[in-house]
Structure 1
Amino acid sequence: MNYLIAVLPDRIQAEEAYSALEREGLPMEKVSILGKGYKTADEYGLIDPKQQAQKQATLMSYWLVPFGFISGFVFNSLTGIELFNWAGSLGNHVIGGVFGAIAGAMGSYFIGGGAGLAFGSGDALPYRNRLKEGKYLVVVNGSPNITNQATRILKQFDPENIQGYVDPTA
C-alpha cells in the first residue's frame, strides 16, 4: 500500500484539491483530508510520538530490569561491598541487585523513551505539527498508479510539501 501526503496551507485549497481528485475519478474512500473540521491525526492513525516512546521504553524494560538486577547482584558479590551491616552478605547482594534493577528501569525510561520520542514517530511528528499550525493534509492511499495520478493532480495546487510513502507492513 502506498501513501501520498500533501500539505496545503488552508481549508479552501484542501477542498479544491479533494474536488480535483474526485473529478479525475480517484476512489474517494482512498482520499482523506486531515485538519480542523475534518479527521484528526489520531482518527486517521498517524503515530503519536509519545505513545511510541512509551512502547519503546516498556519493551526495553523487559530485558534491562532483569539484566540490571543480575548485574547488580554479581557486582556486589564480586566486590564484597557492604551496603548495610544489618543485611548480611546475601542481603547486600540482593540490595545491590535491586539497585541494578532500578538503574535498568531508568535506562529503559530515559534511553528507550527518548529514542522512541526522537526516532519512533518517523515523519508523523512534522505532520502533526503542521496540523497544529492550522494547515491541512490531503492523504491518498492505494496502489502506485493511484498515488502517481494523485501526485500529478495535487502538484497543480502548489502544496508546501508532498511526500510519498510505501507501507512496509503491507
Structure 2
Amino acid sequence: MSTYVIILKEKKLAKELLLKLREAQTPILNCDLVEPLDNKSDHENSNSDTFEEVWANQSSFNNLKLFNPTLARKERQKTLSTWLIPFGFIAGLSFSQMTDLKTFADMGFPSQLETLLGGLIGMISGALGSIFSAGSISQETVDDLRAFRKKSEEGFWLLILELPIEIEPPWAILKETDNLEIISIGKA
C-alpha cells in the first residue's frame, strides 16, 4: 500500500477532502485523522462533526503506529514471535536429536528430557530473537517523526491515507484542497 500524510489547517478541510475522494470513488484502504497535539482551535467543532460518516478514524498522534515507534516495534515483535518461537522449538528438537549431546543429562536432568529441553531452549532463543530483531528503527524514520510531531504541535491536522499500491492518488483533488503539504511515506 502507498501511504500519504496530508497536512491541513482545519478539521473541516479534512472532512471536505474525504467527501470529494468518496465522490471520486477513490479506493482507500485506511484513513486516519490525527488531531493536533496542541488542539485548541477545533475542540468546539469536534462534537458536531462525525467522521464516521466519511470513514476516517480520528485519533491522537501517539496512538498511531505510524507515528509511535514503540507501537510499531511491539507489532513487529508479535509478528516475528509467531513464527520464530515455533521455528526455534523445532530447530532445538532437531539439533538435540542430531547431535545426541547429553548436556542436560550431565546437569542431572533425566536423559529422556534431553530432546524436549533442547526444544525449549530453541523456543527461548526464538523469543529473544524476535525481541532484538524488532527493536531497530532507522534514522530517516526518526527525522520524519520529528517533522510530523512539529507540524502537529503547531496545530495542524494530519490526514493519513492508505491507498492500494497500484492506484495513483487523485492529485487534482488533493491539490485543490487547501493543504500545506502532501508527504508520501512509502510503499509496503
Q: Normalising by the residue count of structure 1, what TM-score does the alignment of the two structures yield?
A: 0.60
Greater percentage in helix? 1
Q: How far apart, in 1, do the equivalents of 2:177 and 2:138 lie?
A: 31
Q: Is it true that 1:144 corresponds to 2:166 in the alignment?
A: no
134-143 or 52-61: bigger deviation: 134-143
Alignment check: 8 A CA contact 1:41 1:128 kept: no
Q: How far apart, in 2, do the equivalents of 1:29 and 1:143 lie?
A: 14
Cα distance change of structure 1 residues 75 and 2 upon mapping to structure 2, 3 Å threshold: closer
Pairwise CA distance, 1:43: 6.8
Q: What does the per-residue CA deviation read over 1:109-153, in whole Å, with 9 as the maximum and x for residues that have no partner?
A: 110x224x549x798633454258x434344579432321236x6
**Unaligned stretches of 5+ in structure 2?**
19-32, 41-58, 162-168
Share of identical aligned residues, percent? Answer: 23
Cα distance change of structure 1 residues 135 and 3 upon mapping to structure 2, 3 Å threshold: same
Cα distance change of structure 1 residues 99 and 46 upon mapping to structure 2, 3 Å threshold: closer
Pairwise CA distance, 1:105: 0.3
For 1:88, give the aligned amino acid. P
Structure-2 residue corresponding to 1:5? 6
Alignment check: 8 A CA contact 1:64 1:108 kept: yes
Cα distance change of structure 1 residues 5 and 122 upon mapping to structure 2, 3 Å threshold: farther
Q: Normalising by the residue count of structure 2, what TM-score does the alignment of the two structures yield?
A: 0.55
Structure-2 residue corresponding to 1:93? 115
- The alignment yields a C-alpha RMSD, in angstroms, of 4.1
Cα distance change of structure 1 residues 127 and 101 upon mapping to structure 2, 3 Å threshold: same
Alignment check: 8 A CA contact 1:5 1:137 kept: no
